[in-house]
Amino acid sequence: MDDDAEIWQALKARSKEKFDADRAKFLTQALTDDDGGWTKHTQWHWSRSVDGQRLDYWPSRKKFQYKGTVHRGLRLMHTILKGETQ
């Protein structure tokens, strides 16, 4: 294997390690913050009804879908859950 290939392999391995670590951290935090109102289809896919609309949530990626639009991050989702927007 040449030097460039070894460097790319190392970068790829590091990226996967970070992805897996972040995913585990996000899932652990979601389980800690769980208010019990979620239907847990799998460990990685939860949902609930908000104002008659389905909100799908993928806690290990901090990703959710509401009213047909996919979002990343939790600030907007928490706002929706509180009924403050949309």
**Where does residue 56 fall: left (phi above 0), alpha (psi -120 to 50 degrees), or beta otherwise?**
beta
Residue of 78, 44, 75, 49 lying closest to 61 (CA atoms): 44
Question: With a threshold of 0.85, does the pTM exceed it?
Answer: no
- How high is the pLDDT of residue 83? 85
**One pLDDT digit (tens) per residue for the chain, 86 residues:** 678 999 999 999 999 999 999 999 999 999 999 999 999 999 999 999 999 999 999 999 999 999 999 999 999 999 999 986 54
- How high is the pLDDT of residue 2? 79
Beta bridge partners of 64: 57, 71
